[in-house]
Amino acid sequence: MNPFEQDDRRFKMTIRSHELFRKGELQKRAKHAQTILRACDLCPRNCGINRQEGEHGICATGRYARVASYGAHFGEEQPLAGTHGSGTIFFAACSLRCCFCQNYELSHFPGNFSQTQPEQLAAIMLELQQKRCHNINLVSPSHVVPQILDALVIAFERGLKIPIIYNSSGYEAEDTLALLDGVIDIYMPDFKFWQPESSKKYCDAEDYPNIAKGALLTMYNQVGDLVVDDHGIATRGLLVRHLVMPGGGLETKNILEFIANSISPQTYVNIMDQYRPCGTCDQHVELRKPLGNDEYRAAILFAKQTGLERLDQMDIKTLLVKLGIL
């Protein structure tokens, strides 16, 4: 017997995505998404170029996605990594392109990676499922939504059942998110900056804060709070990441207040302390040093004060080791 048949509750496609595929709605959305590539406005950059003909905009990606790497990832949040890992697919390129990106080579130099046909991308998804990963974790997917939808049509037809995660910067176009309604099981956006001045300075995206606020609300309306099964594995919902930046304490406070008050105090939030100088951050004096322990301590304490009830436990344990809070 196939091992997935023995424990099928851990490998069930959500009812909505299954119904969309069965009724042909997913196929229609995939076809429509391909037309968007002819004058691309998939992300808020609104480049308007014809990617079907190989033209490149901010994301430097044409008709086909570029996969930088994939595999079972055990470093993600525990509800995603579980015991068998999160089936992570890293796409080359990014529509936000932060100057301090820890995957700078992937996000800024996508031409270093080979193009991936829809059949290949579908095969990767099925391979990750065969390895018993708990989910398909699409990293930096915003600029390749049409390519992902094409691959999902093929993968669903061939038996893909595990949840789909949309792991993004939070810089999302509302029309693109509408294409994903009922398709994505778990949204995992970053919320990086509150001030337009910061996002302009570090990402050349002054509109990022307003775009991210709208995107998080849309995502929450689609999937709700994070739901986990009897094994503690996430099956559906919203998980928000926030990377605390050196000197960015006030922005962190504003972001956490927004999440608690405008989305839900039950939002699962990972407050991250992983900032390290990377990329071209040396152009900004304030980004040349790692995050201070006191800055991270302040972020955690403030998160608790806002009433947020579901902070990622892995980071809290790290904090206890580093700072001796208990």
pLDDT band at 269 (very low <50, low <70, confident <90, very high): very high
Distances (CA, A) of 198 to 28, 101, 187, 209, 298: 39, 15, 24, 9, 20
CATH code for the domain of 119: 3.20.20.70
Bridge partner list, 134:
none
What is d(CA 47, CA 51) in angstroms, rounded to the nearest whole number? 10
Q: Which amino acid is at 276?
A: R
Angle at 304 between CA 303 and CA 307, to 5 degrees: 95
| pTM metric for this prediction | 0.92
Bridge partner list, 87:
72, 136
Angle at 78 between CA 72 and CA 81, to 5 degrees: 15
Q: What share of the chain is helix, strand, coil (3-state, %, to 5)?
A: 45, 15, 40
Among the listed residues 141, 311, 299, the one whose alpha carbon sits nearest the alpha carbon of residue 215:
141
Q: What average pLDDT score do residues 51-72 get?
A: 95
- Which domain covers residue 315, as residue numbers? 3-323
Mean pLDDT of the chain: 91
Reply yes or no on whether the pLDDT at 320 is more than 90: no
The total number of residues shown for the chain amounts to 326
More confident residue, 319 or 85: 85
pLDDT band at 313 (very low <50, low <70, confident <90, very high): low
pLDDT band at 314 (very low <50, low <70, confident <90, very high): low
Domain count, the chain: 1
